[in-house]
């Protein structure tokens, strides 16, 4: 799938969260949403990125923004991750890569010369009208909060 661009309608989501509840993007109509994709729960970069977003929740809340984290992990693993760090936002399970493919983040990667498919760490800001106002492919964990805040603050 081609990468998404600012101004396009955000792809619809319908995934299970860490508690096994179905979460749909339409649940957040009329408010900004930060969606970030991370490769694997409870790994160093993913933990840093998720904890940074957790720590920014007061500022994000003032901007009425909801945070959704998405990974291929199953809900039970996401629950353990959330219980360990107390994120305060929904972690969504995408084991079939449906959302990841819609957002163009399920890509071929390479490590030690071996090629494999995986999540490209990315973040997206969806405005209250459901359009992408921020698109950040291959974002670093430390840059996620500053970049999404910049977009949300306009």
8-37 pLDDT tens trace: 999 999 999 999 999 999 999 999 999 999
User: Is residue 6, in this structure, part of any structural domain at all?
Assistant: no
Which stretches of the chain score pLDDT less than 50?
Answer: none
In terms of Cα–Cα distance, which of 1, 7, 65, 74 is closest to 36? 65
Query: Which of 15, 23, 46, 67 does the annotation list as catalytic?
Result: 46
CATH code (residue 88): 3.40.30.10
150 vs 3, 5, 125, 145, 146, CA distance in Å? Answer: 21, 17, 10, 8, 6
Strand-pairing partners, residue 116, are 109
Domain encompassing residue 139: 30-152
User: Is residue 14, in this structure, part of any structural domain at all?
Assistant: no
pTM of the model: 0.95
51 annotated active-site: no
Count of domains observed in the chain = 1
User: Is residue 57, in this structure, part of any structural domain at all?
Assistant: yes
CA 102/CA 98 separation, integer angstroms = 6
């Amino acid at each position: 799938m081609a990468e998404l661009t600012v101004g396009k309608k955000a792809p619809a989501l319908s995934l299970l969260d860490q508690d096994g509840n179905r979460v749909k993007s339409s649940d957040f109509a009329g408010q900004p949403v930060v969606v970030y994709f991370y490769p694997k729960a409870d790994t160093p970069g993913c933990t840093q990125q998720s904890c940074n977003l957790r720590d920014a929740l007061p500022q994000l809340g003032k901007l009425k923004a909801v945070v959704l984290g998405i990974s291929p992990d199953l809900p039970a693993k996401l629950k353990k991750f959330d219980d360990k760090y107390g994120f305060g936002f929904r972690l969504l399970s995408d084991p079939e890569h449906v959302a990841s493919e819609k957002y163009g983040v399920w890509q071929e990667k390479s490590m030690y010369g071996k090629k494999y498919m995986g999540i490209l760490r990315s973040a997206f800001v969806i405005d209250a009208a459901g359009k992408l106002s921020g698109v950040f492919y291959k974002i670093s964990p430390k840059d996620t909060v500053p970049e999404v805040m910049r977009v949300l603050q306009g």
